Amino acid sequence: MALVLNEEQQMLKESAQGFLAEFAPVAELRKQRDAGSETGYGDKLWAQMANMGWAAILVPEAYGGLDFGHMGMGQIVEQSGRTLTASPLFATAVLGVTAINLAGSEDQKAELLGAIAAGEITTALAVDEKIHHAPTQISMTAVKQNGGYVLNGAKRFVADGSTADKLIVAARTAGEAGDAAGISLFVVDRNAAGVEVERTEMTDTRNYANINFHNVEVAETALLGEEGKGFKALSGTLDAGNVYLAAEMLGICQESFERTLQYLKERKQFGVLIGSFQALQHRAADWWSQVELCKSAVLKALQAMDEGDVKAPVLASVAKAKLCQVTELSTNEAIQMHGGIGMTDEYEIGFFIKRARPAQIMFGDNSYHTDRFALLCGY
């Protein structure tokens, strides 16, 4: 398949660009932050997004979805990187849909995917327990009891963990930390007894949570997929998550580059435009080249997921590793080239670096994915 967007995907990209610029630009993020918003996004925003069908894009048609594919969804998420738009799109319409679709029974899919597609419920994925991403290191337990399970443990850095209706929780039903086998996925109501949620405000002012599970009792039907065999679906969900984080970072890279380029063409020092200095021209040209590589890496990974390519996990790590690298470059260069004004809260360029870093570390940073890439390639 050609590595370019088709007409429908291009249209979706343009409509997302228009919508986000109007209803959820960077100014909206500032507004939510200054108002101390609990969710990090406007009240009506998610409903509007769901109305446009964005919650249903990855949901198969059989469950009430649009089945429009990753190439399409990737364009929306990329645009949301340009506007730094916070919303449940990632945690619900990407992570939730992917996990349920990969692991769920027919009943679970019919119930949960249908509700997500219709914009009725939101989800959050609870994986990590330590400060660094390590999905096999799960030690939270789920013990079979009275025909159901009892969950005990703690999760951290859960995106949308304090607002989601349903938590998709990875817990251990067998084995010990370090084993991929023995991990099971559960769908848990956020309001279930024993679930203690602490919202943690991060640099991007988005909605994350640390969550304690204290003797939380769930029914057998809460098990998503087979007991002890949840790692495969979890891993596939994390791959998708990483590709979309890469897509969002691509938007961040492009936007911070373009804003900086514009600044280089406006700002004068020593009586001339700073963009006339070769020292800055060469750095800008290198930066642009790096972003071009990023565009290809993200497209390739999205396409691999659509095609069910066996190399999709490798390509997900390529995309995430490269985007982590170039997003660090982009946000740092953006501030440096803007000079003093780049350090002010009043100016928007500094907002990009504060969203970029959480996106980089979520589900594994550059070093994590470089290591994973090498392992997947057999060395």
Partner 1 sequence: MSNLQLFRQETRDWLEQNCPLSMRQPTSGGDDACWGGRNYTFASEDQKLWMERMAAKGWTAPDWPTEYGGGGLDKGQRKVLKEEMARINARSPLDSFGIWMIGPALLKFGSEALKQQHLPPIVRGEIRWCQGYSEPGAGSDLAGLQSKGEDMGDHFIANGQKVWTSYGDKADWMFCLLRTDTEAKKQMGISLVLFDMETPGVTPKPIKLISGSSPFCETFLDDVRVEKDQVVGDVNHGWTIAKYLLTHEREMIGGMGSAVVGGESLSQHASQVLGLEQGRMNNPMLRAEVASWEIDAACFGFTAERVTDEVKSGQGVGATSAMLKYYGTELNKRRFETLLKINGSDGMVWNGEASNGGWLPRTWLRTKGNSIEGGTSEVQLNIIAKNILGLG
Contact status: 12 vs partner 1 (CB under 8 A): no
Distance CA 56, CA 263 (A): 38
Kindly state the number of chain residues that form the binding site for partner 1, as judged by CB under 8 A.
39
Contact status: 321 vs partner 1 (CB under 8 A): yes
Contact status: 44 vs partner 1 (CB under 8 A): no
Residues 228-287 within binding reach of partner 1 (CB under 8 A) = 261, 264-265, 273, 275-276, 278, 280-282, 284-286
Stretch that binds partner 1, among 124-132, 175-183, 288-296, 341-349 (CB under 8 A): 288-296
Please choose, from the candidates 138, 180, 316, the residue with its C-alpha nearest in 3D space to the C-alpha of residue 237.
316
Min separation Cβ 368 and partner 1, Å: 12
Contact status: 378 vs partner 1 (CB under 8 A): yes
Please choose, from the candidates 218, 251, 247, 239, the residue with its C-alpha nearest in 3D space to the C-alpha of residue 373.
239
Is 184 in a helix, a strand, or coil? strand
Who contacts 166 (Cβ-Cβ below 8 Å, separation ≥6)? Answer: 96, 112, 121, 122, 123, 124, 187, 188, 189, 190
Residue 254's alpha-carbon distances to 171, 199, 216, 334, in angstroms, are 38, 30, 44, 11
Q: How many residues can be counted in the chain?
A: 379
Instruction: Considering the complex, state which of residue 173 and residue 317 has its C-beta at the smaller distance from partner 1.
Output: 317
Residues 207-226 within binding reach of partner 1 (CB under 8 A) = none
Contact (CB, 8 A) for 329 and 290: yes
Contact status: 344 vs partner 1 (CB under 8 A): no
Contact status: 374 vs partner 1 (CB under 8 A): yes
Q: Across the strands, what pairs with 196?
A: 212
Q: Write the single-letter amino acid at 49.
A: M
Contact status: 11 vs partner 1 (CB under 8 A): no
Instruction: Considering the complex, state which of residue 164 and residue 329 has its C-beta at the smaller distance from partner 1.
Output: 329
Distance CA 203, CA 81 (A): 15
What is the sign, positive or negative, of the torsion defined by CA atoms of 45, 356, 365, 38?
A: negative
Contact status: 370 vs partner 1 (CB under 8 A): yes
* Interface residue with partner 1, options 202, 288, 309, 357 (CB under 8 A): 288
Which two tokens mark 373?
Answer: 């890439």
Min separation Cβ 42 and partner 1, Å: 35
Instruction: Considering the complex, state which of residue 27 and residue 374 has its C-beta at the smaller distance from partner 1.
Output: 374
Residues making contact with partner 1 (CB under 8 A):
2-4, 261, 264-265, 273, 275-276, 278, 280-282, 284-286, 288-289, 292-297, 299-300, 317-318, 321-322, 367, 370-371, 373-375, 377-379
